[in-house]
C-alpha cells in the first residue's frame, strides 16, 4: 500500500452546498486520502483507484484510515453493504482520535449492524467526546432502503458547534453543542476510518445471532471519497486554517426544508434514542428535548433487544488483526 501523504484540499472552513449536498466537492482517490489500517489482503483497491472493498472472513476483518487528522470538516463516502445473512457483521464509517487520546478520545460514528436473512440492516449513529463513553448518545434507525442493493452516500458535517449526519444528502440527525455538554462534544482533531468486523457478541439481538462464515467473505464497498476539512499537523497539533465561515455556501445548520425531511424520517424510522432510555438515564442528558409523542412511539422498540452496553476499550484498533469490537450498544 502506497503511503502517500497529501494535503487534501484544505479549506478555511467546511464548504458544503445548501442542504448538505457534496456533489461539487472534490472526490479523492483512495491512495490520495487513505491507507490500510488492518486486514492484509482483505482490503482491495479497485483498478481505477477510486473505490475500495473491505471484507470479513474467518481470518480477519479489515479497515482503512485517512492520512490526515482533521479539525472540523465535511466527510463522505458512498457505501454498499454485504447482502444475504449478515447477522453479527458490523461495518463502521467514523471519525476518531482514540490512537492519540486513549483515555479521553472523541468519536463520531456511522455504525451499520447486520441482521438475519429477511431482516433489514440497521443503522446506529453515536457521538461522544473527551472519553465520555459512559454517556453514549446513540440513536438507531431502520433504513428505508436496502443498503446492500446499491450505493448510498453517508456524510458527516462536523463544526465547532454542531454535528450533522446525512444519508444521500438528507440530514437524519443534528447534534448541537450545549454549554452543559462541555467536553462531551468532540473537539480534538480526528482521523476518518472505515472498518468491517465481527460483532457476534452483541450486534444482532444482543448476541443471539452470530456471524456465520458459511456466507463469507462479507464485502463492504466504498467509493466517492470526500475528505473536505481542515488538516492538522500531527506533531504540533496545530492548523493554519481559519475555521470561521467565509462563504455563504457554508451552512450554519439545517434549512427549513431539510429539517422537515429530517423530522419526517426520524418519525418513521428512528427505533432508539438515548434521550428516551429511562433504564440508562433517570434524568435525560441536558441536550435532550423530550417529545411525549416520540416517547410513546419509541416505547414499542425494546432497547434490551439490542444487547447490553459494551464500553471502553473495544473501539481501539491498535492491532491490525483485531476487529473493531465494543460499539456502545443499547
Question: What are the DSSP calls for 34-45, one per residue?
Answer: EEEEE-GGGEEE
Q: Examine residue 45 and state whether it is found in any structural domain, yes or no.
A: yes
- pLDDT band of 242, cuts 50, 70, 90: low
Indicate whether 227 belongs to any domain.
Answer: yes
Q: What is the pLDDT of residue 306?
A: 29
Least confident interval from 21-25, 95-99, 163-167 = 21-25
Contacts of 47 (CB under 8 A, 6+ apart): none
Residue 2 lies in a domain: no
| Residues tagged active-site | 107, 111
Count of domains observed in the chain: 1
In 170-281, where does DSSP find H-type helix? Answer: 256-269
CA-to-CA dists, residue 146 to 6, 125, 150, 188, angstroms:
35, 18, 7, 34
Average pLDDT value for residue range 251-263: 84
Residue 221 lies in a domain: yes
In a domain, 280, yes or no: yes
Q: How far apart are alpha carbons 151 and 221 in whole angstroms?
A: 8
Output 301 or 143, whichever has higher pLDDT. Answer: 143
Residues 6+ apart with CB under 8 A from 117: 84, 85
> How many C-beta atoms lie closer than 10 Å to residue 99's C-beta?
14
Q: Are 63 and 193 in contact (CB under 8 A)?
A: yes
Q: What is the pLDDT of residue 315?
A: 40
**Predicted confidence (pLDDT) at residue 69 exceeds the cutoff of 90:** yes
pTM above 0.75, yes or no: yes
Asked if residue 323 is part of any domain, the answer here is no
pLDDT tens for residues 8-51? Answer: 333 333 333 333 445 578 899 999 999 999 999 999 999 789 99
- Cα–Cα dist 15/24, whole Å: 10
Tell me the average pLDDT across 85-111: 95
CA dist 174 and 177 (Å) reads 10
Read off the CATH number of the domain in which 85 is found: 2.60.120.200
Specify whether the CB–CB gap between 39 and 61 falls below 8 A.
yes
C-alpha distances in Å from residue 100, one per residue of 69, 103, 290, 328 = 11, 9, 35, 20
Q: What is the largest CA-CA distance in the chain?
A: 53
Please report how many Cα atoms fall inside a 13 Å half-sphere around the Cα of residue 55, on the Cβ side: 16
Query: Residue 284's domain spans which residues?
Result: 28-299
Q: Please name which of 231, 258, 230, 234 lies closest in space to residue 246, comparing C-alpha atoms.
A: 230
> What is the distance between the terminal CA atoms of the chain, rounded to a whole angstrom?
37
Q: What integer pLDDT is reported at residue 252 of this predicted model?
A: 53
Strand partners for 108: 95, 127
Q: What is the mean pLDDT of residues 265-277?
A: 93
In the structure grid, which three cell numbers stand for residue 22, read together?
457534496
Q: Is residue 324 part of a domain?
A: no
Amino acid at each position: 500500500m502506497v503511503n502517500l501523504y497529501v494535503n487534501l484540499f484544505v479549506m478555511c472552513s467546511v464548504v458544503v452546498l445548501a442542504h448538505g449536498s457534496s456533489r461539487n466537492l472534490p472526490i479523492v482517490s483512495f491512495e490520495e486520502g487513505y491507507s490500510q489500517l488492518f486486514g492484509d489482503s482483505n482490503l482491495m483497491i479497485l483498478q481505477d483507484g477510486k473505490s475500495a472493498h473491505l471484507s470479513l472472513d474467518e481470518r480477519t476483518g479489515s479497515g482503512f484510515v485517512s492520512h490526515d487528522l482533521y479539525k472540523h470538516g465535511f466527510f463522505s463516502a458512498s457505501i454498499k453493504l454485504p447482502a444475504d445473512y449478515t447477522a453479527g457483521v458490523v461495518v463502521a464509517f467514523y471519525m476518531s482520535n482514540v490512537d492519540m487520546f486513549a483515555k479521553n478520545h472523541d468519536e463520531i460514528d456511522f455504525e451499520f449492524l447486520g441482521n438475519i436473512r429477511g431482516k433489514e440492516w440497521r443503522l446506529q449513529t453515536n457521538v461522544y467526546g473527551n472519553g465520555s463513553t459512559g454517556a453514549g448518545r446513540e440513536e438507531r434507525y431502520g433504513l428505508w432502503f436496502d443498503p446492500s442493493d446499491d450505493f448510498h452516500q453517508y456524510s458527516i458535517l462536523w463544526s465547532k458547534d454542531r454535528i450533522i449526519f446525512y444519508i444521500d444528502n438528507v440530514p437524519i440527525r443534528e447534534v448541537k453543542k450545549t454549554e452543559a455538554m462541555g467536553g462531551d462534544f468532540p473537539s480534538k482533531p480526528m482521523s476518518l476510518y472505515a472498518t468491517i468486523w465481527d460483532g457476534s457478541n452483541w450486534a444482532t439481538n444482543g448476541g443471539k445471532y452470530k456471524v456465520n462464515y458459511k456466507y463469507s467473505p462479507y464485502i463492504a464497498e466504498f467509493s466517492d471519497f470526500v475528505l473536505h476539512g481542515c488538516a492538522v499537523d500531527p506533531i504540533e497539533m496545530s492548523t493554519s486554517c481559519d475555521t470561521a465561515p467565509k462563504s455563504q455556501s457554508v451552512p450554519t445548520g439545517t434549512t427549513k426544508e431539510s429539517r422537515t425531511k429530517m423530522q419526517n424520517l426520524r418519525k418513521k424510522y428512528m427505533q432508539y434514542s438515548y434521550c428516551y432510555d429511562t433504564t440508562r438515564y433517570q434524568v435525560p442528558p441536558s441536550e435532550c428535548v423530550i417529545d411525549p409523542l416520540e416517547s410513546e412511539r419509541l416505547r414499542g422498540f425494546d432497547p434490551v433487544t439490542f444487547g447490553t452496553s459494551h464500553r471502553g476499550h473495544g473501539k481501539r484498533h491498535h492491532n491490525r488483526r483485531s476487529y473493531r469490537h465494543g460499539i456502545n450498544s443499547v
